Amino acid sequence: MLSAIPLMILPLALYNLAMLGLFGAGGVDVLDQQLLSLSMLSGAVWVMSVSDVLILLSLVILFFEILKATMNGSGSLINHLLSMLVFIAFLVEFLLVKGAATQTFFILMTIAFIDVVGGFTVSIRSAGRDVSIGL
């Protein structure tokens, strides 16, 4: 039954913890902190921030959510419904909470939306192949 829990709740929780100031006194400003800086051969400097890592983590989670959607089981419908609730939580928070009105949160919300749509689409396509007509 643990497979029914949507993994996209993790980026939502991490962003909310950052917004509450548990990762630093700056609130969501902690997400703009530079983690890595590399000089490229072109002379440009590539910078990775905490928010970039959070987005990268969310994309990895999206991959595993799409993999979970390919499995047919008793928890798949519950997973889809809970993923929809996570997306709704993202959307409501984006519209109503001042600290969530950032580009990072919008990208996380978009990833959650792709999780919902992709999960339903993959499940419907794989369920259609499981139906036999008795020939």
pTM for the whole structure: 0.87
Does 34 fall in a domain?
yes
pLDDT of residue 68: 87
29: in domain: yes
- For residue 1, tell me if it sits in a domain: no
Note down the domain range covering 18: 8-68+76-128
How far apart CA 44 and CA 110 sit, in angstroms, is 29
Q: How many domains does the chain have?
A: 1
Establish if 59 belongs to a structural domain: yes
Asked whether residue 80 is assigned to any structural domain, the reply reads yes
The pLDDT tens digits for 8-45 are 999 999 999 998 888 776 778 888 889 999 999 999 99
Give me the mean pLDDT over the 71-84 stretch.
83
Residue 133 lies in a domain: no
pLDDT tens sequence across 118-131: 988 887 777 665 55
Report DSSP letters for 23-49, one per residue: T-TTGGGGGG-EEEEEE-TTS-EEEEE
Asked if the structure places residue 121 within a domain, the reply is yes
